[in-house]
Amino acid sequence: MTKKSNFTRHLLATAGWGVCAGLLAMSLPQSAQAGQDAYTPVTASMLNGAQSNDGWLMFNRDYSGRNYAPFTQITPQNVSKLSVAWTSGKIDIPDGFEDTPIVNGDYMFVTTPKDHVIAYNAVTGAKLWEYDYQVPAAAYKTVCCDTNNRGVALSGNLAIFGTLDNHVVALNAQTGAVVWNVSIEDPGIGYSISEAPLVVNGKVIIGSGGGEYGARGFIQALDAQTGAKLWKTYTTAAPNQPGGDTWPAGAYKTGGGAPWMTGTYDPDTNTLFWGAGNPGPWLATMRPGKNLYTDSLLAIDPDTGALKWYYQYTANDTWDYDGVNTPMLTNLTYKGKDYKAIVEANRNGYFYAIDRTTGKLIYAKVFVHDTSIKGIVNGQAVGNDAVRPALDKTIFTCPSFLGGKNWWPAAVDPATNMAYVPTLHACMSMTGVPVSYAAGLPFLGETFKMEPDPASPGVLGSFQAIDLSTGKQVWQKKTAAPWDGGALATAGGVVFSGTPNGHLLAFDGKTGKTLWKSPDLGSGIIAAPISYEVNGKQYVAVWSGWGGVWPIWSGKLGAPLAKAPRGGQLYVFQVNQ
C-alpha cells in the first residue's frame, strides 16, 4: 500500500470518529475540589533547577531531557511491591495516548488525543477540572501520525499546550479557564502540533509538524504570560541565509524539516537544543544538496531565535530519518577526555554523543542493524548510495522509516552512566514515484513497505542500555513485538518502560534484570512513565492507550497487534509497605 493511500485511510478513520466521539463528556472547566492545596506558581528558578523539585515540571522532567527522577524510595529490593494507587478510569478515545503527565505539588495535568486537558489531584486521582478544545475538521486532513497530544508546559499560574490546528492555548492551572489562545499557522495546509511546549526565560517555545506535507518547519517563541509572538525561526534555509545553497531553487519553501518534538535547554550557556525532521519530498533526487537544516540538531539562542550552530545527522535524507529525538544533556568521559555532551539515539540507527559547547561530534556508534548509513567519515554520516530510492527504483534497507528509535523518550541515569533506549528492529522497501507539491496533500515521492529485519529474525523490538563512555551496548531485552514505550530512569536504580501488550516493566538499571511486571493495563503503552513525590511519597505514573505510528504504518508486520484493545487509562503506582 502506498503512503498516500495510508494517509487517506487514516484520515477517514479519524473523521469517522469525529471530534466528539467518546470524548470524556468534557464541557466547561469545573472548580477545583475542596481540600486541594493552593496552586504554587511555577517560576524560572523552579524550571532551571535552582529550587528543589519533587514533581515533574516539563515533558522530560527537567531541561536536561534525561527522563531521570532523583527519587530513591523505589529500589530493586521493593519495586515488586508496586500496586495501583489510583487510575483515571478508561477514556474512550481509540487513538494513541502519548502524553507525559506534568506534576506540580499535588496538581497533575494530562492531555489526551484530540487536544483535551484534565487536571487531577496527584495523590488521590480526584478530577479537578477538564477542558475540551474543539479541533476543527480541517485540521485532521494533515495529521499524518495519529491525533496525539504529548502534554502541557507550566509557567506561573498557566498550563500551556499546542493543538492539532496550530494554536497555542494557556489555561489557568487551578481552574482550567482559558487565559489566552494564539494561532501560529492555519489548519489544513500541512501544519499540525502534537508536541508539548517548553518554557524558557518566560517564553513558550514550540515547533511545527507537517514534514510529510512539505510544510516548511519552524520554531515559534511566544510570551508565556500574554501569548504575544516574539520570534520565529525556520528550519529550512532560504537563499539569503547560511545553508541556503544546500537546496535547489525554491525547494526550501516546501522542504519540511518539521521540529515536531520538544527540545531541551542548557541554562549555563543559555542555549536551546531542538531537533529538525525529514526533508520534503522524501525522494531526495528531487532536491540535491545537504538540505540544511533538516535531520539536524539545532543550537539556538532562546532570546532571539538565532542559530548558534548545527549538527546534521543525515544529509540529503531519503529514508525519513527525522532528527527530532530528544537531545539529552549529560556529562561524559570518552577516551580519557571529559565532555559536556548531548546524547541521542537517532532514527538513522546511530547513537550520537555531541559536544554541546561546540556542536562537534564526540562519537557515533551503530545501535541497530543499519544498511542505509555506511559509516561516519570526518564526523558525518555517509549514506549508502546503493539503497537510495530513485524513480522506478526499488530498494531494501534498514532501519525502516520509523527508525532504530522513534520519538518515544530514552532515559539517562548519571549514576550508572547509561542511556536506556527503546529500539525498533525493522527494515523497509521503498520505490521512487513522481510527485508534485499541493498544499494540504502528502508530499513524498516514494511508496514504501515495512519488512522484517533479516539480522533479527522474530524480533521487532528491544530495550537496551548503552554505556555513555563507549557508546556500546551493555544489555538488551529483545521482544517479538515492537518496543514503542518511552523510558524512565530513577535514582533508586530502577528503570521503567511499557510494552504494546499493556504491561509496565521495571528493570535493574545496571544488569537489565526484570524486577517487576504490572498487571495488564488494558491497552498497549506508547507513552513514557514518570515519577514524582508528594508529601515524601514516591509515585510512578504511565498512560496505557495503544495507537500512534506503529498500527498506522507497520503493514503486515503489525498484524499481531491489529486487534489490540484501544482507549486510554492513566495508572499511578506506589509501593505498599
SS (H, E, C) 231-295: EEEECCCCCCCCCHHHCCCCHHHHCECCCCCCCEEECCCCEEEEECCCECCCCHHHCCCCCCCCC
Rounded distance, CA 263 to CA 331, Å? 18
For residue 501, pLDDT beyond 70: yes
Residue 218 has what pLDDT?
98
Q: What's the whole-number mean pLDDT along residues 91-120? A: 98
Other CB atoms within a 10 A radius of the CB of residue 380 amount to 16
Say if 200 falls within a structural domain: no
Q: Which of 421, 398, 426, 401 has its CA nearest to residue 411?
A: 421
Q: In Å, what is the CA distance from 543 to each residue of 11, 178, 485?
A: 24, 25, 10
Domain assignment present for 19: yes
pLDDT the model gives residue 421: 98
Q: At residue 419, does pLDDT exceed 80?
A: yes
Span 315-333, pLDDT tens digits:
999 999 999 999 999 999 9
* Predicted confidence (pLDDT) at residue 23 exceeds the cutoff of 60: no
Instruction: Select from 503, 513, 508 the least CA-distant residue to 483.
Output: 503
Strand, helix or coil for residue 10 = helix
357-373 mean pLDDT = 98
In a domain, 529, yes or no: no
**Which pLDDT band holds residue 17 (cuts at 50, 70, 90)?**
very low
**Number of domain units in the chain:** 1
- pTM score: 0.94
Which is catalytic among the residues 320, 322, 370, 453? 320
pLDDT band at 51 (very low <50, low <70, confident <90, very high): confident
Task: Tell me the pLDDT band of 384, cut-offs 50, 70 and 90.
Answer: very high
Tens digits of residue pLDDT in 309-318: 999 999 999 9
Collapsed DSSP state (helix, strand, coil) of residue 552: helix
Q: What is the mean pLDDT of residues 480-491?
A: 98
Residue 26 has pLDDT above 60, yes or no: no
pLDDT reported for residue 34: 59
Mean pLDDT of the chain: 94
pLDDT class for 8, splitting at 50, 70, 90?
very low
pLDDT above 50 for 20: no
- Report the pLDDT averaged over residues 527-553: 97
Is residue 405 domain-resident?
no
Q: Is residue 106 a part of any domain in this protein?
A: yes
Quick check: 95 pLDDT over 90?
yes
| pLDDT the model gives residue 448 | 96
Q: How many Cβ atoms sit within 10 Å of the Cβ of residue 517?
A: 13
Residue 538 · residue 530 · CB < 8 Å: no
pLDDT tens digits, residue range 160-178?
A: 999 999 999 999 999 999 9
Average pLDDT over residues 412-432: 98
Q: Which domain holds residue 164?
A: 1-60+99-181
Percent of the chain with pLDDT over 70: 94
Place of cell 529525538: 325
Mean pLDDT of 512-531: 98
Nearest-5° Cα angle at 179, 177 to 180: 130
Residue 29: predicted pLDDT:
36
Average pLDDT over residues 193-209: 98
Q: Answer whether residue 67 shows pLDDT above 60.
A: yes
Q: What is the mean pLDDT of residues 281-310?
A: 98
What 8-state DSSP symbol labels residue 41? P
In a domain, 5, yes or no: yes
Could you confirm whether 320 is annotated as catalytic?
yes
Residue 536 makes CB contacts below 8 A (sequence gap 6+) with: none
- For residue 403, pLDDT over 50 is answered with yes
- Is 253 among the domain residues? no
Report the pLDDT averaged over residues 297-303: 98
Evaluate if residue 10 carries a pLDDT over 50. Answer: no
Q: Are 401 and 322 in contact (CB under 8 A)?
A: no
Residue 344 pLDDT > 50: yes
Exposure string of 506-515, with b = 16+ CB inside 10 Å and e = fewer, is: bbbbbebeeb
Give the model's pLDDT for residue 9.
35
Domain-located, residue 54: yes
CATH code: domain of residue 21: 2.40.10.480
With a cut of 50, say whether residue 394 has pLDDT above it.
Answer: yes
